[in-house]
Amino acid sequence: MMPMNKNPATRLVSSLLLLTIVLLSGCSTNVTVNGDYPSALTRKQPLHVGLVMDDQFSHYQFESTDDKQLPVTMALGESQVKLFSRVFADMFISTTTYNSPPAKNPALDLLIVPVVEEVQLATPFETKLNVYEVWIKYSLKVLDGNGQPIADWLMSSYGKTQSRFLKSDEEALNQATISALRDAGARLVLEFHRVPEVKRWLASRQADTQLSRSDIP
Partner 1 sequence: MRALLFLLVSAILLLLTACGTSTHVDEYRVSETRLPVKASEKIVIMGRRHAGEYETEPDFIDCIGNKLVTGGQVAVMPEQQFLDSLYPWFEPRTAPLGLKRMGGMMRDPLIATRIRKLGIRYMIWVDGNTETTEKNGGFSCGLAPGGGGCFGFASWDKNSNYEAIIWDLSKLDEKGRVKVDSKGSSYLLAIGAPIPFIAQVQGEACEGIGTRLQSFFSSASQSRE
Please give the Cα distance from 200 to 194 (Å, whole number): 9
Q: Which residues pair with 134 in a beta bridge?
A: 121, 159
How far apart are CB 155 and partner 1 at their closest, in Å?
12
- Pairing relationship of beta strands 133-144 and 110-122 according to DSSP bridges: antiparallel
Encoded one letter per residue, x for contact with partner 1 by CB under 8 A and - for no contact, window 45-74 reads: ------------------------------
Selected range binding partner 1 among 4-12, 46-54, 69-77, 156-164, rule: CB under 8 A: 156-164
Question: Which residues, numbered 1-40, are part of the site for partner 1 (CB under 8 A)?
Answer: 37-40
194 binds partner 1 (CB under 8 A): no
Query: Helices then strands (H, E): number in the chain?
Result: 6, 8
Out of 13, 18, 190, 203, name the contact with partner 1 by CB under 8 A. 190
182 binds partner 1 (CB under 8 A): yes
Contact at 8 Å (CB) between 33 and 60? no
By C-alpha distance, which of 199, 163, 158, 148 is closest to 180? 158
Out of 8, 26, 165, 196, name the contact with partner 1 by CB under 8 A. 165
Q: How many residues bind partner 1 (CB under 8 A)?
A: 19
Question: At what angle are helices 77-91 and 169-191 packed, to 10 degrees?
Answer: 30
Please give the Cα distance from 58 to 78 (Å, whole number): 6
Q: 75 or 189: whose CB is closer to partner 1? A: 189
DSSP state of 60: -
Out of 163, 168, 209, 210, name the contact with partner 1 by CB under 8 A. 163
Out of 18, 186, 203, 207, name the contact with partner 1 by CB under 8 A. 186
185 binds partner 1 (CB under 8 A): yes
How far apart are CB 189 and partner 1 at their closest, in Å?
5
128 binds partner 1 (CB under 8 A): no
By C-alpha distance, which of 115, 120, 201, 101 is closest to 155? 115
Order the strands of the 61-63 sheet from edge to edge. Answer: 29-32, 72-75, 61-63
Note the residues at the interface with partner 1 (CB under 8 A).
37-43, 160, 162-165, 182-183, 185-187, 189-190
